[in-house]
Amino acid sequence: MYVYWYRMHKTDDSYYIEAVRNGNAAAFSYLVGKYQNMVYSLALKLLKKPEEAEELAQDTFIKAYQKIDSYEGKSKFSTWLYSITYNACISELRKRRIEFRSLEEQRLSDQDEQKMLNYFSETKKEDQEKYLTLALGKLPEDDQVLLTLYYYEDQSMDEISVITGLTVSNIKVKIHRARKRMHILLHEMLHEEIYSLL
């Protein structure tokens, strides 16, 4: 009896998920209220436009409601929601894809990287955030999403694996490469900034 009460306690997501599955549509509003900021925040970080993020967040919850029977409980409900948000954001970003200049063949020497890091560490916090946001926005959408999930949304490698469908080892490689690209982009931007001051 105690185990059943705990499993169906009203602060537990499974209570509301079960209620929705049993035809209580109003129970879904609890889940929306609990996770709407999380979903909107991720959508805004990726899409950069509040109106689009809001629309995508609404679509995410509509899809979640329609597919709630497919949620198996193997991961947290929040991770499942992130997965829906992730797929919708990737789709939207690919629609507006712009030509990306390849950074693969560019190399940053250790000396240049150290200079860039030194200059970057001396800039104001708000300027650092500005440069990071600009550099992130210039990366391919897949890289943007992985870095956002890992560094801004504090998702673990295992959670990102569930969200994206990629293996943990693949995610590690992609995040490592994406960070290298970020360094190159930051170096370019800061080099221009230094040059403009001379």
- Please state the pTM of the whole predicted model: 0.63
User: Does 2-95 match 110-197 in CATH topology?
Assistant: no
> What pLDDT score does 54 carry?
95
Tell me the domain boundaries of the chain: 2-95, 110-197
> What pLDDT score does 84 carry?
94
Structure tokens at 89: 């954001």
> What pLDDT score does 196 carry?
44
Q: What are phi and psi of 72, to 5 degrees?
A: -95, -10
CB 44 within 8 A of CB 34: no
> What pLDDT score does 31 carry?
94
CA gap 57, 35 in Å, rounded: 10
> What pLDDT score does 96 carry?
66
Question: Is 2-95 CATH 3.90.1150.10?
Answer: no
Question: 148-160: buried (b, 16+ CB within 10 Å) or exposed (e) per residue?
Answer: bbbeebebeeebb
- CATH match for 110-197 among 3.40.640.10, 3.20.20.100, 3.40.1400.10, 1.10.10.10: 1.10.10.10
Q: What are phi and psi of 12, to 5 degrees?
A: -95, 135
CB 181 within 8 A of CB 110: no
Q: What is the pLDDT along the chain (198 residues), one digit of tens a residue?
A: 333 433 445 568 999 999 999 999 899 999 999 999 999 998 988 888 899 999 999 999 999 999 999 998 888 999 999 999 988 988 888 776 643 434 444 444 555 555 555 555 555 566 667 777 788 888 887 888 888 888 888 889 999 998 888 899 999 999 988 888 887 887 777 766 544 443
